[in-house]
């Protein structure tokens, strides 16, 4: 195994791509632990953050807290949300208002004062009875004027400003204010898993049919290979579109579509390799030992077909990912609740020309890197398994 890895790593490019592929695989497996946010959690994002460019900070929403107080017994206290309002009669005709909030107060307004009342260090609205304090953090002194404070009902508005938090959106946000990085990591998870399961499923179906074709020969062989040939004459995206149009959206449906498209490649390869293996003496030996056909196929022939199949598997994972992305981009693939990379690209596509490049470009780059690196790994495996290229 270490020897195999050493040989593999003789191509630096392939080694780098293997590392990258493994990284993507890790993304797929551990997305919830890697992603900074959960893009499925509606509470975790807000429209305030929508379409922020890469590197922006997440904004903590501000708030407006309002309370109506009356210092009937010389003092009053009221809590409203994150703010606590206290009103104390400091001296006759003079009230002191303090507001405690988490975070710094952005603005403090006092409403509903009688005409002759005034607030120290505050500006009155030219028309309404609304006093805005110059320094909202300091306690506000209110001269009640002619009215006794006890009958005074005043309304206080405390405004907390929106503040930037330490959380950054490394790759910006989409039109729903979702962190792109998290969306991409979850997108990779869906794309990769769909691609891998789809390709493995295709291999299982395809190699079983290929083995059957090689073993039985004659009509079975002709039927299976004609079907494969017929199907290969239709563009694979067309097959996918047709299948999904008939079946509808969904992960299971797209897996069926991928298997329907990809089984042919595996069937043809398995058949050709198995035909060569069937001519080997060890198959005759196994038949001479009266082992069952299933046993000979699965235990003897299939393991010898595996090297080329694994190469095709790797490359087909990449093509399954592309296929799923294309179908999702076209809107027939996965449902909205499972946004794969293809759907992220599709979502971002409409913003491409509004200079909001990051919404489509970053999922696109992720998809490209994933497909290219898996393909390079597959090519390297093919070179290694090809004895003619081996020195």
Q: Could you list the residues that contact other proteins (CB under 8 A)?
A: 3, 7, 218, 222, 280-282, 284-292, 295, 299-300, 303-304, 306, 391
Separation in Å, CA 357 to CA 38, 144, 177, 349, 371: 22, 57, 15, 8, 21
In the complex with other proteins, which residue's Cβ is closer, 138 or 291? 291
Q: How far is the CB of 338 from other proteins (least distance, A)?
A: 39
Rama region for 307: left / alpha / beta (φ>0; ψ in -120 to 50; rest) = alpha
Would you call 147 helix, strand, or coil by DSSP?
coil
With respect to other proteins, which residue has the nearer C-beta, 5 or 222? 222
3-state secondary structure at position 233 = coil
Contacting residues for 58 by C-beta, under 8 A, at least 6 apart: 49, 164, 165, 167, 168, 169
Cβ-based nearer residue to other proteins, 125 or 299? 299
CB of 5 to other proteins, least distance (A): 13
CA distance 292 to 108: 87
Cite the DSSP H helix spans in the chain: 2-8, 12-34, 180-216, 218-232, 236-247, 251-278, 281-288, 293-295, 302-329, 341-349, 358-385
Cα gap 369→20, rounded to integer Å: 8
The candidate with the shortest Cα–Cα distance to 339, out of 24, 43, 36, 31, is: 31
The residue among 137 and 280 lying less far from other proteins, judged by its C-beta, is 280
Q: How far is the CB of 290 from other proteins (least distance, A)?
A: 4
Nearest distance from residue 215's CB to other proteins, in Å? Answer: 14
Closest CA to 198 of 315, 336, 29: 315
CB nearer to other proteins: give 122 or 224: 224
For other proteins, give the closer residue by CB, 164 or 276: 276
Instruction: Report the alpha-carbon distance of residue 43 to residue 342 in Å, rounded.
Output: 24
Q: How far is the CB of 347 from other proteins (least distance, A)?
A: 47
CB of 183 to other proteins, least distance (A): 43
Q: Taking the complex as a whole, how short is the minimal distance between the CB of residue 281 and other proteins, in angstroms?
A: 4
Q: In this complex, which beta carbon is closest to other proteins, that of residue 12 or of residue 279?
A: 279
């Amino acid at each position: 195994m270490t020897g195999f890895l050493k040989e593999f790593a003789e191509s630096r490019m392939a080694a780098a791509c293997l590392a990258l592929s493994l990284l993507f695989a890790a993304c797929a497996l551990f997305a919830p632990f890697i992603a900074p946010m959960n893009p499925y959690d509606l509470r975790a994002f807000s429209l305030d953050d929508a379409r922020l460019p890469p590197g922006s900070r997440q904004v903590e929403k501000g708030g407006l807290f309002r309370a109506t107080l009356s210092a009937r017994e010389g003092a009053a206290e009221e809590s409203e949300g994150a703010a606590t309002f206290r009103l104390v009669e400091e001296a006759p005709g003079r009230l002191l208002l303090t507001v405690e909030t988490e975070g710094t107060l952005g603005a403090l307004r006092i409403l509903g004062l009688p005409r002759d009342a005034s607030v120290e260090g505050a500006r009155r609205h030219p028309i309404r009875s609304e006093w805005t304090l110059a320094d909202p953090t300091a306690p506000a002194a209110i001269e009640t004027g002619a009215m006794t404070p006890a009958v005074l009902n005043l309304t206080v508005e405390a405004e907390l400003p929106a503040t930037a938090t330490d959380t950054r959106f490394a790759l910006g946000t989409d039109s729903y204010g979702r962190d792109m990085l998290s969306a991409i990591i979850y997108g990779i998870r869906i794309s990769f898993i769909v691609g891998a399961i789809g390709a493995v499923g295709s291999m299982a179906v395809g190699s079983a049919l290929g083995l059957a074709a090689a073993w039985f020969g004659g009509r079975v062989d002709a039927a299976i290979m004609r079907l494969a040939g017929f199907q290969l004459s239709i563009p694979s995206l067309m097959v996918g579109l047709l299948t999904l149009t008939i079946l509808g959206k969904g992960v299971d449906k797209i897996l069926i579509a991928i298997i329907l498209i990809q089984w042919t490649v595996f069937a043809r390869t398995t058949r050709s390799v198995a035909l060569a293996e069937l001519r080997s003496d060890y198959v005759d030996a196994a038949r001479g030992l009266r082992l069952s056909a299933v046993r000979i196929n699965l235990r003897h022939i299939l393991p010898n077909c595996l090297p080329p199949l694994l190469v095709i598997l790797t490359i087909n994972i990449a093509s399954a990912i592309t296929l799923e992305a294309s179908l999702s981009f076209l809107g027939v693939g996965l449902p909205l609740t499972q946004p794969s990379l293809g759907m992220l690209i599709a979502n971002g596509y409409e913003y491409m020309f509004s200079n909001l490049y990051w919404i489509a470009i970053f999922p696109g780059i992720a998809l490209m890197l994933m497909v290219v690196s898996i393909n390079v790994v597959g090519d390297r495996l093919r070179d290694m398994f090809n004895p003619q290229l081996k020195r």
